[in-house]
Structure 1
Amino acid sequence: MKKIIDGKINSTEYDNALCKVLWILKEANISEEDKEKEIDVCEGFRNDWHKKNALSVPTFRKLIYATYGILNPNVEWENIPYANQEAYEVVKQIAYININKFPADSYSNDLEIKKAYNEGKDELLKQIKDLNPNIIIFGNTLKYFEDKDLAEINWNISKTEKKYADNNTFNTAFYIISNNKLCINAYHPSYPKIADKTYWKEIREAVLSWKSNK
């Protein structure tokens, strides 16, 4: 199998963004017949192939709404465009990578993801460092990263206060690294037990809290 290509959805828009947002997920669900092909997971977003199913696929939908909330914090939930309409355009400004760089199936195995992390961490950490994001959103993936590895690329959370966007739900944790760096530890956007609005709201609250500390 060939390694999957991931990274910036649109290099120009990401590089010129006032706030660079990086999503880190687990792995790409690739159909059996496509596993031997060279695949760029960002291409589908870049060319609007996912626009038609942006509402029906929870990972796409929540990622879009949460990103929209980060980039448009003054827009309230009821005024956000649908994920398959104007809101979709926010994906062009983000970077999106997976821990496992090889094709996978629909079910993720924690041991396999950790193994992929251990075997590919040098490449993965360099990729994060080169992307130089302001905000990293871990979609239930922070647990695979070693604190010392994050510290090596200047994302040290071990000595940073862990806060929650909502102290009643404890769904979304965040760490203010500096005025220019925010680490968010959220559920994977496909997680069905958190409503779209809650997912959007808690990530937005984490970002607003970070901005208020600048």
Structure 2
Amino acid sequence: MNSKEIDALIKDHYSGLEVKPILDGIINEDLYNKASYKILWLLKEPYDLGDGKGGWDLREGINKEPGVYAKYKTLKNISIVTSSILNNQSYDEVDKVNAPQILKQIAYINVSKLPGGTQSKYPELNNYYKQNESILQEQIKYCDPDIVIGGSVLYLYLNTFSLKGEEAEPLPEMARRYFMKNGKLFIDAYHPSQIKISEQKYCDGIKKVFDHWLQNKK
């Protein structure tokens, strides 16, 4: 299934509703596939920058104006962490001004495709995942990521990635975990807008895990 077919599947899934889905996935396919590592961020639900009724494409928005989107904490921290990984830099070394451009090299998938508020309720997320599971699996299959970073949602995908609790290792700076399996890295991180620690600790903690994975991958 290609990206257009997946988009059609999402639209059909939410057909009949007044509120329309906000499409997500690989932001820029050419840049994503050329990146040193294909990084997929798994998030909760989109925040609508429009009238609250959805019906637009997150990928198009970020491609056109990455700097505008990176003003929001979620994408700001995603851009910094992704820059740290792809450019092999610490938090202090990342060019924060130009970091938003790297958002074009990621994939970004929300559990729910409908506009949400500033906070998500986990019972609702569990329901969204169950309702959208087949779509989410098609999206992940199409992305074929090397690195998956879950923003407080990786627990929903453990079966999808065949991850088991006993395989987990502690994530530095966070009371979370990460997995290395089948040559891929899976990070159960704080949501990038609710990190509970400093941006530097958040970024460098994830970068440390990436470095460890890279050493063990060789």
- Work out whether the TM-score is over 0.5: yes
Of 12, 26, 31, which residue of structure 1 is paired with 2:30? 12
Distance in 2 (CA, whole Å) between partners of 1:159 and 1:171 is 14
Distance in 1 (CA, whole Å) between partners of 2:69 and 2:49 is 17
The structure with the greater share of residues assigned to helix is 2
Q: Does 1:89 align with 2:101?
A: yes
Aligned to 2:92: 78
Aligned to 1:24: 42
Aligned to 1:51: 67
Q: TM-score, normalised by structure 2?
A: 0.84
Contact 2:92 2:200 in 1 (8 A): no
Contact 1:140 1:186 in 2 (8 A): yes
Q: Does 1:121 align with 2:125?
A: no
Q: Identity of counterpart residues, as a percentage? A: 31
Q: Please, which runs of 5 or more residues in structure 1 have no aligned partner?
A: none
1:33 aligned counterpart, secondary structure:
coil
RMSD: 1.9
Q: Please, which runs of 5 or more residues in structure 2 have no aligned partner?
A: 1-18
Q: Does 1:139 align with 2:142?
A: no
Q: TM-score, normalised by structure 1?
A: 0.85
Q: Does 1:177 align with 2:181?
A: yes
Deviation at 1:3, TM superposition (A): 2.1
Of 161, 168, 171, which residue of structure 2 is paired with 1:165? 171
Cα deviation, 1:161-193, whole Å, max 9, x if unaligned, reads 211232xx44442100122x1101000001152
Distance in 1 (CA, whole Å) between partners of 2:94 and 2:116 is 33
Q: Does 1:64 align with 2:79?
A: yes
1:38/1:81 CA distance change after superposition, 3 Å: same
Cα deviation, 1:6-44, whole Å, max 9, x if unaligned, reads 001111101222210000000012268341x42112222
1:192/1:161 CA distance change after superposition, 3 Å: closer
1:92 aligned counterpart, secondary structure:
helix
Count residues with an aligned counterpart. 199
Distance in 2 (CA, whole Å) between partners of 1:25 and 1:57 is 14
Distance in 2 (CA, whole Å) between partners of 1:53 and 1:124 is 23
Aligned to 2:14: none
Contact 2:111 2:129 in 1 (8 A): yes
Corresponding letter in the other structure for 1:173: R
